[in-house]
Chain A
């Protein structure tokens, strides 16, 4: 009885009695969710255009952040460092296409997946060999002060992150729907062979997609790096982006955003209201279990394309 009370009644009573605190928790969750979405977005871009489940997105986030910080430590001004990092990510896209994707064309998905795990190790090692492995502070001039509205504590930085996320998503939406390159990308995502037969260069498309994913990774790296310092654990947030992906569907950009927000809020609320019951630290697996439970009900995710199977 006491257990039932603790699970089903007490947390809700808490929420009702201290609405300001509850809203704060939800907002923190939403903002973490935005950051998850940024990482998940990179996954979705690459999966849509090439069917590759790119596990190295997290390592790309780390690599971009390390490069940016490394350049800034060398005394390069912020704007130049940003441009240089962008160029590095584009160069990386070229290298990945030429050295990894092209020789592996037409292989099983699982082989490509393993190759991206190999790439993950490579990038982690490469980034840390180049720039060292100690935790670095990243300061690109994002304001970081807290203020209060109606008793709810907010952080400027988090709002800024949300704004960046919104701008990025809007930019990607315009890019995908209004530009010729974007149309080509959508064509490739729909059907590789049909796209090739109407003259869309698949290799160029892959380079573009990996470059865009690299730049998204850079943005995610900047936001995470400014929040918690640039360090090795950045590459682990890829693991957090996975439940976001399955919740939202592998092929859906809005899915990545909504999934990220749901996971972000869900795990924060669960940690604060239900975590103490089972000893805390449930943030690590809660997102997965949430996603798993959801998958059983809807196997293709929230916005994923309906899976149709034929013999």
Chain B
């Protein structure tokens, strides 16, 4: 009754090609953005911003990046963590080498640098596919994190080997460093994610996005009807790495403040892959839902024993957490292998005819 497109007539081509063709969707997105911008910063406390919302935004960005590559272009990658590290370390180098550079610009340049690195590690995808490619991207993961550990130039010869973001302002507001408030960092992250997510949503509807999907569905057939596999696969790697790079930069500057290579290890790659799969392959919305799930479940599991008043040794609890997390993932894959995005599709179909049965 409330959610249906009946009676919404399109009178122009622009309206027909709109990103959200249904009026209710547009209002919903707008309302969501308004709440995120105007309500959340004033109501959420430091813990929620720092432990839930900012990581959620960071990982949404990374998940969008991986989803472009794996969900849309069909190239399985386990090197997300390394690409995020490239983004983080290049931002660090940029803002320490050019103190006057706008941090947001530095993020984007770091994204471009990561795209370049992604291109290099995407080259094997022209020759190998599937799990072979996944293992090949692990080479990127281990090689890059070793490099950031071993070459002191990357962490400005600091004795501890950690990189710490210096305080920087954008338009007179402190954005990075220890002085920046969680609210400001949240808003910056939100803006970046909103803009880049819209860009991604648009990109996958364009010629580039369609060529990715053609390659994903059957690369030989796509090649025969005239898509160039090299261009297509390499743009997928470049764009995906751009998003992962920006995510890494956000992770360093807006969330952690200081980091070592361990912050971007193989587990991060797996986490992002989980987000993409649980959220739904080939769906921008799914990336957000998956990120929310993977961020919230550990937070819930950590706090659950206190909620229910169960006392437990910390290490037992830690192990139980890991175990339940693994079990939940298998469970969700069995219940809905196509992810939360598919659940949303089903809900949409149901809503369309609600409250009548047909």
Contacts and interface: CB of A to CB of B under 8 A. Distances in A.
B139 A128 contact: no
B323 interface: yes
A121 interface: yes
B150 A126 contact: no
Interface residues of B, number: 46
Contacts of A242: 135, 138
Contact of B124 (A124, A280, A292): A292
A245 B135 contact: yes
Given A114-B273, A311-B220, A288 B323 contact: no
B320 A110 contact: no
Interface in A91-146: 99-100, 103-104, 107-111, 113-115, 117-126, 128-129, 133
Interface string B314-349: 011001111111111110011001000000000000
B105 interface: no
A235 B273 CA distance: 19
B149 to A, nearest CB: 8
Contacts of B246: none
Given A111-B337, A288-B139, A295 B146 contact: no
A103 B335 CA distance: 9
A99 B333 CA distance: 12
B109 to A, nearest CB: 27
Contacts of A99: 330
A284 B144 CA distance: 11
Main secondary structure of the interface of B (DSSP, over half): helix
B138 A282 contact: no
B76 to A, nearest CB: 6
Nearest to A246: B135
Nearest to A282: B146
Contacts of B328: 118
B98 to A, nearest CB: 28
Interface string B46-58: 0000000000000
A124 B329 CA distance: 14
Most buried by A among B124, B131, B266: B131
Most buried by A among B128, B149, B324, B330: B330
B300 interface: no
B337 A288 contact: no
Interface in B147-164: 149-151
B139 A292 contact: yes
Interface of A: 53, 99-100, 103-104, 107-111, 113-115, 117-126, 128-129, 133, 239, 242-243, 245-246, 250, 278-282, 284-285, 288-289, 291-292, 295-296, 299, 301, 309-311
